[in-house]
Structure 1
Amino acid sequence: MTGIHMIRKLLLLLFVGCSYKALAQQDTVPRSGTDTTVHNGLYQRILHYLQHTNEERKHKKVDLSFIGGPVYTPETSAGIAVMVAAQYRTDRADSLLPVSNVAVFGSVSLTGFYGIGINNTTIFPKDRFRMSIRASFSSRPDKYWGIGYDAGSDKNHYTKYLLLTEKFQSDFSINLSNKFYAGASIHIQNAQARDIDTAGGKPLMQPDNVFGMGIGPFVVYDTRDFIPNPSRGMFARVGYRFYPSFLGNKTVFSKLELQYDWYHRLWRGAIVATDIYAEQQNGDVPWNLLSQAGGTNRLRGYYEGRFRDRNYLTGQAELRQRIYRRSGCVLWVGGGNVFPRFNELSLSETLISYGIGYRWEFKNRVNIRLDYGRGRDQSGFYFGINEVF
């Protein structure tokens, strides 16, 4: 696994380097038209820095900023998260070209969780090509309930273990016409379950180590006005990935993904956003690559992986309202199901999620989010950058 260890080291170097550069920005000479007062002392420097993070820096090739704060999720408990965010254009002369963005993040928690990662979307000149990259490494004390809705229904019947996960996913697409894109996606994931509680009667995962590598095509229709935080337009994606044995998979399986997002302005400062998402998997799917409900993006409030199965169908709607200056709030409600086959989909097993969130405009139209989500019998806080969809 030499290649995976190289990815892990590269992520660590990226994180440390970007953090240092972002903090060093505070010592640069202010641009014309801004406050030139010299701010002494750590508190004053941080306050001044945060007050100006959302101002456009057109003279900079890369607009880089840094932020950190406390976080709590059902999966990791209380901790600290830090992020470096950057925006850039591959052609600075083209003001109509969508903005590219990258976020490097890291976090630790009281349970012993730690992780680092990077999310990037690059829009090439004239929007001829697009590329997205998501890579991460994490070590997390985790819980395994088993497979299916019934297994996850008993909140207290699970197996404790330590999960080490390395993930990499990249999509590369070509602009076929105005708003249509087509391309190929690659997904690599390596997971190791360690320190498994093997007490009798508890669900056990088999095998302990799961490696998955899949490739396949996808098609996208995208009319969003601003990718990190759309105010109008729609996004539709259909993707298929195949996990064959010749790529190192111990079992053969496939995955079909469908996503549809829609955005509409209701009144001044208010946007309604809707998200519909579905996964269908066929073949001998390993336990750690099954569809999993919950987490930071969909069905917020549920422990990610408590409910898992071959198929996953979910939808959510958000009302996003700017309140005052750089502050805003979000209200949402959503629901979803995990199930083995479509003829076994039951509305009585629908998982309901709802919650409220605070938004602070960190960069121009790029929000830091703090959400509180509730499920049927769980809840959690979530800290992140950009909207969940």
Structure 2
Amino acid sequence: MVLIKKLLLPILLCCSVTVTARQAPSSGNSTDTTAPRGLYQRVLHYLAHTNDERKHKNLDLSFIGGPVYTPETSAGIAVMLAAQYRTDRTDSLLPVSNVAVYGSVALTGFYGIGINSTTIFPKDRFRLMIKASFSSRPDKYWGIGYDAGSAKDDYTDYLLLTEKLQADLAINLSNRFYAGISAHIQNGQAKDIDTAGGKPLMQPTRVFGMGAGPFIVYDTRDFIPNPARGIYARIGYRFYPTFLGNNTSFTKLELQFDWYKQLWKGGILAMDFYAEEHSGDVPWNMLAQAGGSNRLRGYYEGRYRDRNYVSGQVELRQHVYRRSSAVIWVGGGNIFPRFDALSFQQTLLSYGIGYRWEFKNRVNIRLDYGRGQDQSGFYFGINEVF
């Protein structure tokens, strides 16, 4: 564990001093009366107090940054501004709202910025979830289907420019049930395509997608960024008609079911099931894609893509010492064109281990190492993967 902390410190070395909005005056009871001197000491002091409870702040902001690595972007540097707040400070039972703004660059030429936020309105009457991002990423395209992705070295190099925006607005129907409308906009363009003979090519090179549709959620999680118990279930259906600017008409059905249970002190069992089903004339970059930092960790995101996708994973999360925790997981998934073509012999297996450091109260920085059947990768991020 000491070695892990020594390795993690350089990752967090770019941290700045915590920023707070409308902070109440100090009560004078703090035992920390002398400001640390020197950059290294200030970083250590900052890290030691990021998870302190701050009851007198309307908005608790913290900044963190450092080296990162993923299979898709290679080594790079990322920075993130994270915030927690309540829309009604007088309601201690109201779930905490959160927002994260991030940016990163990598040696491959990748760069991107984005924002993820969940706002819980007073009395939990409404919930608004927003995800927005822009990225420029040197990417690889294997084609569509399991057989195309299985040819590990048969891919096309290209540059992918992507703009995404998803907004989910939900109303509380009764206690734990929510229903609402989800809107999604995605603009993607493939540039600098390697057109060498025999390699798979994507057509068209520019794809615009805009869709909207209803969803229903059942949510009993005790803490959204890092649940210890409860259930999260969501089913959503989005339409992408041509009158919204799409070149073709298609639909997307999405299912998610997560379950959390505390097994013993510091030990949490978490399970995740996810499925996508697409119908109609679906563009190549709007298809379901396996891999990435959340599901089937270890596989290059987008190597396997098709109309349908199912995956499941089980993760054991164990608190180890002070602010350090560890996780192990195993999972699997399938991509396929039709349900009658689903073959368990084509299941993609994933397993790995991870380290968690409590950056803020119950909000973790995560470092994962995932392995697939013939790939592996490191992942660095904030909050649990589900």
Q: TM-score range by the shorter chain?
A: over 0.9
Q: Which residue of 1 aligns with 2:314?
A: 317
Q: Cα deviations across residues 25-66 of structure 1 (Å, max 9, x unaligned)?
A: 69x976644312221221111111110000111111111111
TM-score by length of 2: 0.94
Q: Which residue, out of 346, 350, 353, partners 1:349?
A: 346
Contact persistence 1:274–1:316 (CA under 8 A): yes
Contact persistence 2:307–2:335 (CA under 8 A): yes
1:200-239 aligned at under 5 Å gives the runs: 200-239=197-236
Distance 2:242 2:297 in 1: 34
Q: Deviation of residue 325 (structure 1)?
A: 0.4
1:31-110 aligned at under 5 Å gives the runs: 32-34=28-30, 35-110=32-107
Distance 2:138 2:27 in 1: 46
The 1:228/1:24 distance shift into structure 2, 3 A limit, reads: closer
Q: Which residue of 2 aligns with 1:162?
A: 159
Which residue identity lines up with residue 84 of structure 1 in the other structure? L
Structure 2 SS opposite 1:288? helix
Which residue identity lines up with residue 64 of structure 1 in the other structure? L
Distance 2:91 2:68 in 1: 38
Unaligned runs of 5+ in 2: 1-13
1:256-275 aligned at under 5 Å gives the runs: 256-275=253-272
Distance 1:373 1:30 in 2: 44
Contact persistence 2:258–2:271 (CA under 8 A): yes
Structure 2 SS opposite 1:319? strand
Q: Which residue, out of 278, 295, 313, partners 2:292?
A: 295
Contact persistence 2:183–2:211 (CA under 8 A): yes
Distance 2:19 2:235 in 1: 42
Q: Which residue, out of 324, 329, 338, partners 1:327?
A: 324
Q: Deviation of residue 24 (structure 1)?
A: 5.1
Distance 1:30 1:310 in 2: 57
Which residue identity lines up with residue 94 of structure 1 in the other structure? D
Q: Cα deviations across residues 126-182 of structure 1 (Å, max 9, x unaligned)?
A: 000000000000000000000000000011000000000000000000000010000
Unaligned runs of 5+ in 1: 1-18
The 1:386/1:20 distance shift into structure 2, 3 A limit, reads: closer
Q: Which residue, out of 334, 354, 365, partners 1:368?
A: 365
Distance 1:75 1:188 in 2: 23
Structure 2 SS opposite 1:224? coil
Distance 2:66 2:188 in 1: 28
1:100-249 aligned at under 5 Å gives the runs: 100-249=97-246
Distance 1:343 1:281 in 2: 15
Distance 1:318 1:287 in 2: 31
Q: Give the paired residue count.
A: 370
TM-score by length of 1: 0.93
Identity %: 76
Contact persistence 1:271–1:320 (CA under 8 A): yes
Contact persistence 1:300–1:374 (CA under 8 A): yes
Structure 2 SS opposite 1:259? strand
Q: Which residue of 1 aligns with 2:11?
A: none
Q: Deviation of residue 20 (structure 1)?
A: 11
RMSD, aligned CA = 1.6
Distance 2:69 2:352 in 1: 15
Q: Deviation of residue 21 (structure 1)?
A: 9.2
Which residue identity lines up with residue 251 of structure 2 in the other structure? S
Q: Which residue of 1 aligns with 2:304?
A: 307
Contact persistence 1:22–1:64 (CA under 8 A): no
Contact persistence 2:18–2:61 (CA under 8 A): no
Distance 1:270 1:25 in 2: 32
Contact persistence 2:111–2:135 (CA under 8 A): yes
Distance 2:271 2:130 in 1: 24
Write out the 4+ residue segments of structure 1 that deviate beyond 4 Å after TM superposition: 19-26, 28-32
Distance 2:196 2:362 in 1: 50
Which residue identity lines up with residue 298 of structure 1 in the other structure? R
